[in-house]
Amino acid sequence: MNHTINRWQLVLIVISFIMGSSLLMAPNLTAFFSGQDAWISMIIAVIIGLILNVTWIMILKRYQFRSIFRITEVAGGKVVGTILNILIIFFALHLASYVVRNLSNFMISNVIPESSPWTFQIMIILLAVYSCFYGLNNIGRVNEFLTPFMILFFICSLALTTNQFRFSHLQPFFEQGMLRISQGAYTTTGFPFIEIILLGSVLTYVKNKNKLSKNYLAGILFGGSALILTVFIAVGVEGAYMVKRQSYPTYELMRDISIINIFERVEVIIGVVWIFGILVKIVICLFTALKGLQHLSKFPNYHPFLLPAGLLIWALSNHIHTNSMEFTDFVGRNWTLWWFSLYLVLLVVLGIGILRKKDKNLDQTADDSSQ
């Protein structure tokens, strides 16, 4: 297993993590509350996400970007550290199951309605388990190869819809009031800008850690800007009313692409971009959970945990919600607060660790990154 990645690969992983699953859902989640001001909500969410991540990365920097599982034990002590590590593992597996469910919901509602959700769930989980089996370097390299193409597809797809863009769809600005705009921003702050704290388990494997913080934040800024652009164009082309009504407005938006009746029905391209982002997100979540389990078990590798973790994600993705409406409603209401709780607890424990100068006592020899 090779877990080493370079900084460029990290930036691309951050971009895929941000764009995966949020790309298709962000316009609906924001526009549902803030209507034509959804793009303003998205800008606010990106700013808040950046502020939270600047704080997070500064704290990790104080601990020399060691593995998050090791840092929590150093900062909080054995008992608190172990409890926090179990929490992080649960959050990672829980998130992975939501992302898997997200994919199957999308496939059976928009792409192949007559198929079973299990088909897509099992296929994506197998792929994620296979990728984790070979280590982080594997997904880092696949992502490095595919992400530039995905970004190109994404930009081209958006560009082809701009001929239907109506500026009047975005007016009047700030009509919804600040409470509704904040509510729109709230839903997309946790999803994906707080979830990304899971990359705390990945940063330790980056080869050259100089300017690592800047690279990480640049990835978030790029991914966030892509989401702002998506929401802006989705509302501008379809109008707030239609964006509110559709579960995956970006996908519906691409259905409108029509160039001299030849270049039509290309929406599946954006579906491919999204599914690839989802795969990266699931792999990162699974990798985080596996590294946490490896840390708890003090075993040289995480291979024995691959099978139960895959089964758990599959089981959770099916029994967390009975239908997709309940799923979307739950994510919209609770997801940001749920993830913010973990963020806050980690921030407090690691902050207290810094005040107690625990960040200076990290053993330089025993490093998880060697495993």
Partner 1 sequence: MSKNKSYRITLTTFWIFSMMNLATFLSNRQWLPFSKWIDAIYSPLYKLMFGG
Minimum Å gap between C-beta 225 and partner 1 is 26
Q: How does DSSP classify residue 5? A: B
Residue with Cβ nearer partner 1 (91 or 232): 91
Choices 149-157, 205-213, 302-310, 355-363 (CB under 8 A): range interacting with partner 1: 302-310
Options 170-178, 226-234, 250-258, 291-299: segment touching partner 1 (CB under 8 A) = 291-299
Beta carbons within 10 angstroms of residue 168's beta carbon: 9
From candidates 113, 172, 208, 300, binder to partner 1 by CB under 8 A = 300
DSSP per-residue string spanning 263-305: EE--HHHHHHHHHHHHHHHHHHHHHHHHHHHHHHHT-S-SHHH
Enumerate residues 121-160 that contact partner 1 by CB under 8 A. none
CB of 201 within 8 A of CB of 283?
no
* Other C-beta atoms lying within 10 Å of the C-beta of residue 318: 16
Q: Is the peptide bond before 304 cis (omega within 30 degrees of 0)?
A: no
Q: Does residue 299 bind partner 1 (CB under 8 A)?
A: yes
CB of 334 to partner 1, least distance (A): 4
Q: Which one of residues 334, 352, 356, 360 is an interface residue with partner 1 (CB under 8 A)?
A: 334
- Residue 126: CB atoms within 10 A of its CB come to 12
**Taking CB under 8 A as the rule, does residue 343 contact partner 1?**
no
Stretch that binds partner 1, among 195-203, 218-226, 317-325, 346-354 (CB under 8 A): 317-325
319 binds partner 1 (CB under 8 A): yes
Q: How far is CA 81 from CA 280, 337, 350, in A?
A: 27, 22, 10
Interface with partner 1, residue 325, by CB under 8 A: no
Taking only Cα atoms into account, the Rg of the chain, rounded to an integer number of angstroms, comes to 20
State the minimum distance, in angstroms, from the CB of residue 179 to partner 1: 7
The token pair at 5 is 């990645």
User: Of 9, 11, 14, whose CA–CA distance to 138 is shortest?
Assistant: 9
Residue 11 found at the interface with partner 1 (CB under 8 A) = no
Rounded least distance, CB 42 to partner 1, Å: 17
Could you say whether residue 302 binds partner 1 (CB under 8 A)?
Answer: no
Judged by beta carbon, residue 34 or residue 138, the one nearer partner 1 is 34
d(CA 298, CA 270): 42
Closest CB to partner 1 among residues 42, 185: 185
For residue 109 the two structure tokens come to 């509602």
Query: Site size for partner 1, by CB under 8 A?
Result: 29
Place of tokens 């070979």: 134
Of 276, 346, 347, the C-alpha closest to 17 is: 276
Binders of partner 1 among 183-202, rule CB under 8 A?
Answer: 183, 186
Distance CA 235, CA 26 (A): 11
Output the CA–CA distances (angstroms, integers) from residue 136 to 196, 199, 243, 309, in the order listed: 16, 12, 36, 16
d(CA 21, CA 18): 8
- 312 binds partner 1 per the rule CB under 8 A: yes
Site for partner 1 in 88-117 (CB under 8 A): 94
Q: Of 137, 330, 362, 367, which one interacts with partner 1 (CB under 8 A)? A: 330
Nearer to partner 1, 148 or 308 (CB): 308
Shortest distance, position 101 Cβ to partner 1, whole Å = 11
Is 333 a binding residue for partner 1 by CB under 8 A? The answer is yes
CB 109 to partner 1: min, Å: 20
Q: Is the dihedral of CA 338, 181, 176, 158 positive or negative?
A: negative
Measured CA to CA, the distance from residue 279 to residue 283 in angstroms comes to 6
* The token pair that represents 325 in the structure block: 């409406």
Of positions 58, 152, 179, 272, contacts partner 1 by CB under 8 A: 179
* 95 or 275: CB nearest partner 1: 95
258-259 vs 263-264, strand pairing mode: antiparallel
The contact set with partner 1 (CB under 8 A) reads: 94, 179, 182-183, 186, 293, 296-300, 304-305, 308-309, 311-312, 314-316, 318-321, 330, 333-334, 337-338
